Amino acid sequence: MSVGGIVAYVLFFIAGVGFGYAAVGKWRWLPLLFPLVLGLFALWKYGPDASVIIRLIVALVITAVGVLLGAAIDARQSRAGEHPRYA
């Protein structure tokens, strides 16, 4: 796997965390469209290939984990109150 492939997965994770933390309701799951659209385009361009499907599944899982992590951070912060603790 090249560095570019790893960077793509990191960006999907960061997008998931960002949307999971900041977005409200079902909008949190919007980042799942990013790898899905890119994966469908790759399938259309290169045809059904196992590596494309595996990479799409990995990207979707990584993005979903990011969304869940962002939602957990948001829930924890809202339980603690809106006032941050300063050191």
70 phi, psi to nearest 5 deg = -65, -40
Question: Six-digit token pair at 42?
Answer: 């790759």
Virtual CA dihedral for 3, 61, 20, 5, nearest 10 degrees?
10
Question: How many of the other CB atoms lie within 10 Å of CB of 10?
Answer: 12
Q: Can you give the pLDDT at residue 40? A: 92
Q: Can you give the pLDDT at residue 11? A: 93
Q: pLDDT tens-digit profile of 5-31?
A: 799 999 999 999 999 999 888 899 999
6 vs 1, residue with greater confidence:
6
Q: Can you give the pLDDT at residue 5? A: 78
Kindly report the pTM of this predicted structure. Answer: 0.81
Q: Can you give the pLDDT at residue 75? A: 85
List of residues 6+ apart from 31 with CB closer than 8 A: 12, 15, 16, 18, 19, 63, 66, 67
Residue 63 has pLDDT above 90, yes or no: yes
